[in-house]
């Protein structure tokens, strides 16, 4: 018995067809994994609030020097002297205060709790048909007194630390 024949009988190789199939399968799996991360198919899900001030109807007659310093009230029903908050995100947010700057002076109003702007798609969600309204009293203290047509800027502060900016004109 020859030694070289003995060695060749102990080794067996896979067929070229099986090797080709294995290489193609490994390449396909690797390309799908890389494409998933590059194009965001396998993105991580995170809950975030995307709150915005979608409308404002602030009356000049409601913000006077002789007014009272009262809190703003949150409500699901529309009122007068209000601003509208909507959330298209996946997590709820809570409005804690509103600041209005008019004629160089900033006045802050606390928003009564709870003022939760529910995430879109959930029960009670604030969508275009169901926003949250921040309603100001009939006469709020603002120095100097607001005038119809006067431009103001402001911020809404959320409990997560986010600050929403808005501008408008007193009616």
Give the containing element (helix H, strand E) for 79.
none
Most distant CA pair in the chain, distance = 116
pTM: 0.68
Torsion of CA 8, 9, 12, 15, to 10 degrees: 90
* Number of structural domains found in the chain: 2
* Residue 11 confidence (pLDDT): 66
Domain of residue 20, residue span: 3-38
For the cut 90, the answer to whether the pLDDT of residue 10 exceeds it is no
Assign 6 a pLDDT band (cuts: 50, 70, 90).
Answer: low
Taking the C-alpha atoms of residue 87 and residue 160, their distance in angstroms, rounded to an integer, is 14
- Residues 40-78 have pLDDT tens digits of 665 555 678 888 898 899 999 999 988 887 889 988 888
Whether the per-residue pLDDT at 95 is higher than 70: the answer is yes
Regarding whether 84 and 16 lie in a shared domain, the answer is no
Supply the pLDDT for residue 37.
Answer: 76
Binned at pLDDT 50, 70 and 90, residue 29 comes out as very high
Q: Do 75 and 28 belong to one domain?
A: no
| 46 part of a folded domain | no
Q: What is the pLDDT of residue 153?
A: 94
Distance of CA 57 to the CA centre of its chain: 23
């Amino acid at each position: 018995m020859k030694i070289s024949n003995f060695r060749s009988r102990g080794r067996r190789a896979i067929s070229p067809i099986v090797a080709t199939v294995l290489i193609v399968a490994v390449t396909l799996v690797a390309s799908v994994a890389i494409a998933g991360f590059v194009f965001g198919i396998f993105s991580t899900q995170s809950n975030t609030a995307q709150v915005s001030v979608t409308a404002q109807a602030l009356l000049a007659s409601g913000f006077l020097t002789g007014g009272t310093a009262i809190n703003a009230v949150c409500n699901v029903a529309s009122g007068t002297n209000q601003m509208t908050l909507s959330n298209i995100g996946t997590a709820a947010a809570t409005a804690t205060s509103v600041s209005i700057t008019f004629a160089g002076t900033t006045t802050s109003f606390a928003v009564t709790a709870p003022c939760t702007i529910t995430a879109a798609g959930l029960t009670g969600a604030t969508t275009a048909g169901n926003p949250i309204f921040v309603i100001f009293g009939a006469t709020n203290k603002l120095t100097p007194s607001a005038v119809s047509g006067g431009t103001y800027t402001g911020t809404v502060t959320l409990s997560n630390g986010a600050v929403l900016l808005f501008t408008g004109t007193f009616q």
